[in-house]
């Protein structure tokens, strides 16, 4: 079973700040680093480092091949990535003490997907293959339709959330991976139980993974309810914690692991990612993630 990830490739400009910039304020940062990022790139890197077979589809400027190298080094198949003259997507990320972040995105080439490119990317996909998507590329409506027509398993991380996502054929989603903020936007509810109940009511055939930060993660489908606690860690940078979780979780599911085992391993991997700076480069290799207790 192959995993296709059609997703963003970003350059992250990461600023260490005492607090997030306030309206009207000019703030000097303590440090600035340039890292590879993008939810698409990060999740492919996590899948590759976790040992999954993953093909990445994405677009970037012809002079930013170093992002492709990052994916290649993480054992991702990059042969279908296309380069363009247009600028690569980027993110301005503020990280405050304690590791919390806020992110401003410029989509750039990530929003230049075409139906023709999407079709080409998935031309050899077979029923049962996995398609992973986030919300940092365009053409999602078209890509949902191709995946459904081909009988692929659609895994959707609706991040970052925007209202137009509600117009997608969301009933095609087999696996949801989302956090509380995205859950609240999708359901209008705040509490994890309420979010899970509402998601199950609307999408009864789907599997739901809800990440809860310090409170761990939970899983729901029509037959099973699980909760796995978070692994306590001193966070220095939470960027890509969710992406690490998603990649590791999916890699485990793709190789037939039980959901509980997959959640535990994903939590362990994410706890390592938050203890390091940056996005893709904070994602641990499989051998660095201890076996679940
Ligand atoms: O999830 C973290 C990622 O969000 C960053 O790498 C940034 O590029 C944005 O896409």
Mind listing the pLDDT tens digit for each residue in 254-282?
999 999 999 999 999 999 999 999 889 99
| 99 or 37: which leads in pLDDT | 37
Q: Which helix (H) or strand (E) holds 210?
A: strand 207-211
| pLDDT for position 195 | 97
Mean pLDDT to the nearest integer, 79-89: 98
The CA 239 to ligand 1 mean position distance, Å, reads 7
> Hey, what long-range contacts does 182-190 have (CB within 8 A, 24 or more apart)?
182/158, 183/210, 185/161, 186/158, 186/161
Q: How large is the average pLDDT for residues 126-150?
A: 98
The ligand 1 site (C-beta within 6 Å) comprises 8, 10, 12, 37-39, 42, 91, 103, 136, 239-240, 242-243, 279
Q: Could you tell me the distance, in angstroms and rounded to a whole number, from the CA of residue 113 to the centre of ligand 1?
A: 18
Cα 25 to middle of ligand 1, angstroms: 24
Give, in order, the Cα–Cα distances in Å from 239 to each of 19, 33, 91, 205, 212.
16, 13, 11, 31, 15
Q: 224 alpha carbon to ligand 1 midpoint, in Å?
A: 31
pLDDT in tens, 40-65: 999 999 999 999 999 999 999 999 99
pLDDT of residue 100: 87
- Can you tell me which atom of ligand 1 is nearest the CA of 8? 10
pLDDT band at 235 (very low <50, low <70, confident <90, very high): confident
| Ligand 1 atom with minimal separation from the 42 CA | 6
C-alpha 33 – ligand 1 centre gap (Å)? 14
Q: What is the mean pLDDT of residues 81-108?
A: 95
The length of the chain, given as a count of residues: 293
Residue bearing the CA closest to ligand 1, atom 2: 240
User: Model-level pTM?
Assistant: 0.97
Per-residue pLDDT at 292 exceeds 80: no
- Strands 153-156 and 175-179 come out as parallel
Residue 123 CA, chain-centre distance (Å), reads 23
Separation of 223 CA from ligand 1 center, angstroms? 33
CA of 293 to the centre of ligand 1 (A): 30
Mean pLDDT estimate for the chain: 96
Give the position of tokens 């459904």. Answer: 148
Q: How far apart are CA 98 and CA 139, in angstroms?
A: 36
The average pLDDT across 139-157 equals 98
* Ligand 1 atom closest to 101 (CA): 2
User: Is pLDDT above 90 for 1?
Assistant: no
Mutational test site, ligand 1, from 43, 91, 92, max ligand atoms within 8 Å of CB: 91
Interval 15-31: pLDDT, tens = 999 999 999 999 999 99
pLDDT tens, residue by residue, 158-212: 999 999 999 999 999 999 999 999 999 999 999 999 999 999 999 999 999 999 9
Closest ligand 1 atom number to CA of residue 239? 2
Query: What phi-psi label fits residue 184: left (phi over 0), alpha (psi between -120 and 50 degrees) or beta?
Result: alpha
Cα separations in angstroms, 195 against 202, 223, 277, 290: 11, 17, 31, 31
pLDDT confidence of residue 279? 86
Position 66 scores a pLDDT of 98
């Amino acid at each position: 079973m192959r995993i296709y990830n059609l997703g963003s490739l970003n350059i992250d400009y990461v600023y260490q700040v005492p607090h997030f910039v306030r309206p009207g304020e000019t703030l000097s940062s303590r440090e600035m680093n340039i890292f590879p990022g993008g939810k698409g790139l990060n999740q492919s890197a996590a899948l590759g480092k976790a040992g999954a077979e993953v093909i990445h589809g994405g677009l970037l400027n012809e002079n930013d091949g170093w992002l492709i190298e990052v994916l290649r080094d993480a054992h991702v198949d990059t042969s279908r990535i296309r380069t363009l003259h247009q600028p690569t997507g980027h993110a301005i990320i503020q990280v405050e003490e304690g590791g919390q972040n806020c992110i401003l995105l410029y989509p750039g080439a990530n929003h230049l997907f075409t139906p023709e490119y999407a079709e080409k990317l998935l031309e050899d996909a077979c029923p049962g293959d996995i398609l992973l998507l986030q919300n940092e590329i365009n053409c999602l409506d078209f890509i949902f339709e191709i995946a459904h027509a081909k009988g692929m398993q659609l895994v959707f991380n609706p991040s970052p959330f925007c209202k137009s996502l509600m117009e997608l054929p969301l009933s095609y989603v087999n696996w949801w991976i989302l956090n509380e903020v995205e859950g609240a936007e999708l359901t209008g509810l705040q509490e994890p139980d309420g979010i899970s109940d509402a998601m199950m009511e609307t999408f009864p055939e789907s599997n739901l993974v809800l990440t809860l930060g310090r409170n761990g993660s939970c899983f729901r489908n029509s037959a099973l309810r699980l909760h796995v606690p978070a692994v306590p860690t001193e966070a220095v940078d939470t960027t890509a914690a969710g992406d690490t979780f998603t990649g590791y979780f999916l890699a485990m599911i793709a190789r037939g692991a039980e959901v509980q085992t997959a959640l535990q391993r994903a939590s362990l991997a994410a706890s390592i990612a938050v203890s390091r700076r940056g996005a893709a480069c904070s994602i641990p290799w499989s051998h660095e993630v201890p076996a679940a207790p």
